[in-house]
Amino acid sequence: MAVPADLRDWIDLLEREGELVRVSAEVDPDLEITEIVDRTVKAGGPALLFENPKGSRHPLLINQFGTERRMCMGFGVERLDDIAARLEDVLEMQPPEGLIDKVRGLKKLKSIADSRPKTVSRGACQEVVLTGDDIDLGVLPIQRCWPGDPAPFITLPAVITKDPHTGGRNVGMYRMQKIDARSTYMHWQIHKDGRADYLATDGKIPVAVALGLDPITAYSASAPLPKHIDEFMLAGFLRGEPVELVRAKTVDLEVPANAEIILEGTIEKAEVGIEGPFGDHTGYYTPEEPFPVFRLSAITMRRDAVYPSIVVGKPPQEDQWLAKATERIFLPAVKLTVPEIVDYDLPVAGTFHNCVIVSIRKSFPGHARKVMHAIWGLGMLSLSKAVVVVDAHVNVHDYEEVFFYVGANVDPKRDIVITEGPLDHLDHAPTLQFFGGKIGIDATAKGPAEGTREWPEEIEMSEEVRTLVDRRWSEYGIPAHGDGGVVQNGSRRGLRQLLRR
């Protein structure tokens, strides 16, 4: 399935699929859009194109990622797991045996080679170039999202920097609070690559911000890749064609040619100011804190540029699907390091750093604890506050089933690990910022090898009787309730399998 080439192509696709509503009424980016989007997201509603945001002639696109279906459409897949399958294919490559294997291997290698961004000489993102006194962020319909926010925030940017020592590119999504017509703060949290690039600079660091991208490239800015991997390369791999870049006009960086809007500028290492508060994805206002100041040297854009935005807040919000995409896309990489992991789930209500549920093929005493510590040592998963470990057959996406095993298999005195380590920048619960307690819950079955009594057998109907009842179901004359298939397919886990994505 072809993926959208740029934001316009994506808007067209959404519209053709009945997934977009144009709002022509004048609507205020100051709070009003948030309330509309909050209701729309929670109702599983469409993407919204506000054609007349108050005070701006640029339309505002929001809720483009707000449902699983749209997320899949943006990635050109049927299910989010299909994206992971492609990555797994490459990660699990073995030395080829025989000719067919070799040809297949070469194809895979080519798909990696073709992922590298490609520099082109012209880009639609530079149809209009504004420098000097012409730079004015006031032309964009930047949202003030929540009543306690002191200013408007750019919320869906792809922020591009280069490591001052290696020259390697990094792309990240970090909110940007507007200070005035020509400057913003840059919310580079302590654990992020963007911040590391900034800290590695002596004087000032060039920064470019792309707004309004095709969905995969926009997503890639939020992906937690290891520092030395260029997020545009991941975008190229997932798109099946390279991200095209043009040279920025006033800084030594390349920017996506197909973007709607580019902000160019620099950040002086020494120049920080007080950012926030901001109504964040934790469901709370993150307090004021010092962050660097981004000073613009140019705005370039398409003539009729569309401005993209997103609202975060108490979950569920639109960002849940960006995070779910990451959960699915990164599963093969997680399994590569910890192969006993069958699946994992980061509940939306846990705002993604509060809880990880993980199922494992347990094969030795203490195995659940090994996996907890592996997660606490793995990339951004290391910031997880709670890790719940269940056996391989448990569906980690079915929270009721997980709760059953947490209740049934756990002796709190024996099976709880309390430890401490790094915590998310935004977590307000620990006594200290960035550092505090963690909990691991071992809800796997145990046994004498782990010092317990004999573990009892779980109740399961025999396959023979289930097949019999399947065959005879219509004879019983019992009406199927709810989704008829659930009962008739005879599986105890029928409903759970339906819930499973």
Residues annotated as catalytic are: 280
DSSP secondary structure code for residue 52 in this structure: E
Q: How far is the CB of 170 from ligand FMN (least distance, A)?
A: 5
Cite the DSSP H helix spans in 338-446: 367-375, 399-409, 412-415
Instruction: Report d(CA 167, CA 364) in Å as an integer.
Output: 44
Residue 245, number of CB atoms within 10 A of its CB: 23
How is residue 286 written in tokens?
Answer: 């993150």
198 part of the interface to ligand FMN, by CB under 6 A: no
For residue 290, with 0-12 CB atoms within 10 Å meaning exposed, 13-18 middle and 19 or more buried, which class applies?
exposed
Q: How far is the CB of 234 from Mn ion (least distance, A)?
A: 9
Task: Give the Å distances, CA to CA, from 176 to 104, 145, 172, 267, 318.
Answer: 44, 12, 12, 13, 18
The residue (of 149 and 319) whose beta carbon lies closer to Mn ion is 319
316 part of the interface to ligand FMN, by CB under 6 A: no
**Of the candidates 218, 213, 141, which has an alpha carbon nearest to the alpha carbon of residue 178?**
141
358 part of the interface to ligand FMN, by CB under 6 A: no
Q: Give the one entry of ligand FMN, Mn ion, none that residue 312 binds, where binding means its C-beta sits below a cut-off of 5 to 8 angstroms depending on kind.
A: ligand FMN
Among 193, 264, 415, 427, interactor with Mn ion by CB under 5 A: 193
Contacts of residues 445-448 at CB distance under 8 Å and 24 or more positions apart, as own/partner, are: 445/362, 445/391, 445/409, 446/409, 446/415
172 part of the interface to ligand FMN, by CB under 6 A: yes
Stretch that binds Mn ion, among 110-118, 193-201, 389-397, 427-435 (CB under 5 A): 193-201
Stretch that binds ligand FMN, among 131-139, 173-181, 232-240, 439-447 (CB under 6 A): 173-181
Among 52, 131, 189, 491, interactor with ligand FMN by CB under 6 A: 189
**What is the C-alpha radius of gyration for the chain, rounded to an integer number of angstroms?**
25
Q: What are phi and psi of 360, to 5 degrees?
A: -135, 150
The residue number with the shortest CB distance to Mn ion is 193
170 part of the interface to ligand FMN, by CB under 6 A: yes
Q: How far is the CB of 10 from ligand FMN (least distance, A)?
A: 17
The HSE-up count of residue 95 (CA atoms within 13 Å, CB side) is 0
Q: How far is the CB of 259 from ligand FMN (least distance, A)?
A: 17
Stretch that binds ligand FMN, among 181-189, 252-260, 357-365, 400-408 (CB under 6 A): 181-189
Q: Give the one entry of Mn ion, ligand FMN, none that residue 189 binds, where binding means its C-beta sits below a cut-off of 5 to 8 angstroms depending on kind.
A: ligand FMN
Q: How far is the CB of 447 from ligand FMN (least distance, A)?
A: 40
Nearby residues of 233 by Cβ (< 8 Å), 6 or more positions away: 115, 116, 117
427 part of the interface to Mn ion, by CB under 5 A: no
Q: Give the one entry of Mn ion, ligand FMN, none that residue 146 binds, where binding means its C-beta sits below a cut-off of 5 to 8 angstroms depending on kind.
A: none
Size of the site for Mn ion (CB under 5 A): 3
Instruction: Report d(CA 341, CA 331) in Å as an integer.
Output: 9
188 part of the interface to ligand FMN, by CB under 6 A: yes
CA 77, distance to chain mean position in Å, is: 16
Q: In the complex, which residues of this chain contact ligand FMN (CB under 6 A)?
A: 155, 170, 172-175, 187-189, 192-194, 222-224, 310, 312, 319, 322
